[in-house]
Amino acid sequence: MSEKEKKVKELSAEEVLQKFDKESDKRELTGVWGKIISAICILFALFQLYTATFGVLDAHLQRAIHLAFGFLLIFLLYPSRHSWSRSKMHPFDAFLALLSAGTAMYLVVNYQELVLRAGMNTETDFIVGLIGTIMVFEAARRVVGWPMIIVAFCFMLYAFLGPYIPGILAHRGVGVQEMFDHLFFTTEGIFGTPMGVSSTFIYLFILFGAYLETTGLGKFFIDIANAIAGWAAGGPAKVAVLSSGLMGTVSGSSVGNVAGTGAFTIPMMKKLGYRPAFAGAVEAAASTGGQLMPPVMGAAAFLMAEFVGVPYFDVVKAAVIPAMLYYIGVWLGVHYEAKKFGLKGTPRDQLPKFKTLFLEKGHLAIPLIVIVYLLVSGYTPMRAALAAIVLTIVCACLRKSTRIGFKQIVQGLIDGSKGVLGVLIACATAGIIIGVVTKTGVGLKIATALLDLAGGNLLPAMFFTMITSLILGMGVPTTANYVITST
């Protein structure tokens, strides 16, 4: 074993996440700063729950407040430099948190005046829009990473350099003030459709997932998977596939799925005899499929519904068969690897009993059944998620062994607010790309070029789109990938 492998082995699951996943590499603060951040998270959650219950605000107001909370938390939780402490607040980050949130709140405070001016923006508006856009780039750098920043920056350069570009991609060019006014003061830029979806559906479903985790549903899924498949050939690996699929119905997050199930399943696979690389690959592949598993799926599913203009449940129905095929493929890969090396499962007497588990904790899965029912019945995803959040807390209190107290309820609000930050800022950055596309008309030009290349045939066009998605997917999150490709 190399020195590097030894060091990784000694790290906890949380430390590994912090090392390799930017979204998990955040401060863990105590004392006054810890209380301030918790208070912001709780206020953020209460705002989202209030608007979901009593009605969403005007689009720009809802999205601006949503982004203001996101700015505060990102700059306070994610340090500017990798070398800065994760246990202390840096004054520079505190300053940027206030500055960035101030730019978003400028829209809220001056909303009536901005509406009455009807696009006749002032010099002050331009400065606020410029700073706000820069803050989006910086926040995305901290949480999402450089690839998405580079893509968005290239689109902005295209907007400014249009007259100097040869061929069909040329355009008349966009002025600096015109560009930033368009990005920050309309609903076709940073505060566009992706931010609208983040400020309504996505937040509530992430909060729903946080509460399901708080009630212990994740552990219940792992135990159920052990009871069903732990005894079979290559049992622990099949448990990883099954538990990751079940967890995917709740979290919709590949990274969260790995963190939730991988800490249990990877050591089990290695103990059985699977090669460490294969064990990690199984967990990664199985967890990635969580984005496809209904009813929650990944954040991109909500964007699909909004972009295409279909009910969210139609997206859920379309995802069922691909999701099942995906997991069957991973399951078969695990099965044949186990047969090839003669890897047996865990003895049945060492595994939990399915009937006992279901009687003790089966009630925790009721919210999942209810949310599917509500979506089928025609309820909006926002109403369905809101009802499911309340039901999750109620169901957890049905039995003493799963009961959660006031502290856990508050912690769920905090976890939900922290969990949405990656998607929130990816949606804001994707809005910059959308803003450039709508301002320059490049989307139609690229689509036309793609169709010409495909000779007007659907199948080659789909193939080229797939290649584009794969290339973008190597550098940006799923949500951003979908927005960039679909725009």
What's the pLDDT tens digit per position in 125-152? 999 999 999 999 999 999 988 888 998 9
Range of the domain at 349: 216-403
Within a domain: residue 24? no
Within a domain: residue 472? no
Give the predicted TM-score (pTM) of the model: 0.84
Is pLDDT above 70 for 487?
Answer: no
Within a domain: residue 66? no
d(CA 453, CA 250): 40
Please state the length of the chain: 487
Number of structural domains in the chain: 1
Within a domain: residue 382? yes
Residue found by looking up tokens 């450089």 in the block: 146
What confidence tier does 21 reach under pLDDT thresholds 50, 70, 90?
Answer: low
Q: Where are the beta strands (DSSP E) in 44-163?
A: none
Higher per-residue confidence, 457 vs 260? 457
Is pLDDT above 80 for 115?
Answer: yes
Is pLDDT above 50 for 10?
Answer: no
What confidence tier does 15 reach under pLDDT thresholds 50, 70, 90?
Answer: low
d(CA 78, CA 80): 7
Is residue 208 within 8 Å of 392, Cβ to Cβ? yes
Which range, of 131-135, 206-210, 478-482, averages the lowest pLDDT?
478-482
Is residue 474 within 8 Å of 423, Cβ to Cβ? no
Nearest 10 degrees: CA dihedral of 61, 64, 67, 73?
-90
d(CA 400, CA 220): 15
d(CA 87, CA 25): 12
Q: Which has the closest alpha carbon to 138: 71, 60, 193?
A: 71
Q: Which two tokens stand for residue 473?
A: 């997917």
- Work out the mean pLDDT of the chain and round it to a whole number: 85
Give the list of residues 6+ apart from residue 262 with CB closer than 8 angstroms, or none. 13, 240, 283, 287
Within a domain: residue 432? no
- Residue 476 to residues 177, 352, 438, 457, Cα–Cα distance (Å): 28, 40, 21, 28
350: buried, middle or exposed (CB in 10 Å: 19+, 13-18, 0-12)? Answer: exposed
Within a domain: residue 289? yes
Within a domain: residue 122? no
Half-sphere exposure of 131 (CA within 13 A, CB side): 17
Summarised one tens digit per residue, pLDDT across range 413-423 is 999 999 899 88
Within a domain: residue 342? yes
